[in-house]
Amino acid sequence: MLTRKETVKTFCLFTLCILTVFLFTLSGFCQNQAKKPEKKGPTTYQIDGEDQDIRQLARIISNITGKNFILDDRVKGRVTIISPKPVTAEEAYKVFESILEVNGFTIVPAGKINKIVPSGEARHKNVTTLFEPEYKKEGEDRVVTQIVPLQFADANELKKLLTPLVSRQGLIASYPPANTLILTDYQSNINRLVRIIKDIDVSIHDVRFSVVKLKYASSEKLASKLTQLLQAKVQGRRKLGKYQTMAKIVP
């Protein structure tokens, strides 16, 4: 039979064991909790402001994105950004590209450096060159060169048709030996031009013909009048930024 002293000693040892197990369990639980931090969304930034110096804005965007910029001495101006909600670093960069485009400037990547130059000079710089697999690349407000090989349409004829649709800073060239167009413009406009080219560059078998017999009207006069009406309609749609497949009337 245990004495009172032995009973107290046994109870203390038992309590100490229970406490040790509890502390180890609690420690493991805390460690597991520490391994599962709360998921946080991307860092956002407030970039709105009135009458900001464009060169100072470039410094702000550089700090946000970590990108290095070299500004041409002619890059000057003041801009106002209305953006009530914070934006991510990627969104801030796209906003900056749009601001530059509106003010006649663009970004030309050169390794780890991004040169900001007047848009008209960008086509003479080392701009990004895109090929056919990249047609669906998201439009951006930066100058790029797009190579467009043609299957059916004539490169020289298509160049004449598309030249009015190229921006003032853009350039379109044809290379007849390979029946290829070379476009240099803002990527957002390049994408629009490529969509138009795909609609035009079709096989003759995809063209529909209709023959209309006339009873009284002169075929030459009616063809001339209808051609004028169609041209006026096409010009009106171009002003609205739309495109319509061409039609040709032969008397």
pLDDT per residue as tens digits for the range 74-85: 999 999 988 888
Chain position carrying tokens 């550089």 = 62
Opening angle at CA 15, ends 11 and 16, nearest 5: 115
Backbone CA torsion sign across 178, 166, 245, 213: negative
For 128-206, the fitting CATH number among 2.60.120.330, 3.40.50.620, 3.20.20.210, 3.30.1370.120 is: 3.30.1370.120
Residues contacting residue 62 through CB under 8 Å, at least 6 positions apart: 68, 69
The amino acid at 137: K
Cα 198 to Cα 219: distance, rounded to the nearest angstrom: 32
The three-class DSSP label of residue 1 is coil
Q: So where are the chain's domains?
A: 44-119, 128-206, 208-251
Per residue in 34-74, pLDDT (tens digit) is: 445 556 778 899 988 888 999 999 999 999 999 999 999 99
Residue 126 in this model has a pLDDT that exceeds 60: yes
Per residue in 157-196, pLDDT (tens digit) is: 999 989 988 888 788 889 898 899 988 888 888 888 988 8
User: Given this model, what pLDDT does residue 240 score?
Assistant: 45
Q: 44-119 and 128-206 share one CATH topology? A: yes
Question: DSSP of 123-163, one letter per residue?
Answer: TTS--EEE-GGGTTSPP-SSEEEEEEE-SSS-HHHHHHHHG
pTM of the predicted model as reported, rounded to 2 decimal places: 0.53
User: Given this model, what pLDDT does residue 244 score?
Assistant: 47
130 within 8 A of 147, measured Cβ to Cβ: yes
Residue 116 in this model has a pLDDT that exceeds 60: yes
Residue 7 parent element (H or E) = helix 4-34
Taking domain 44-119, whether its CATH number is 3.30.450.30 is answered by no
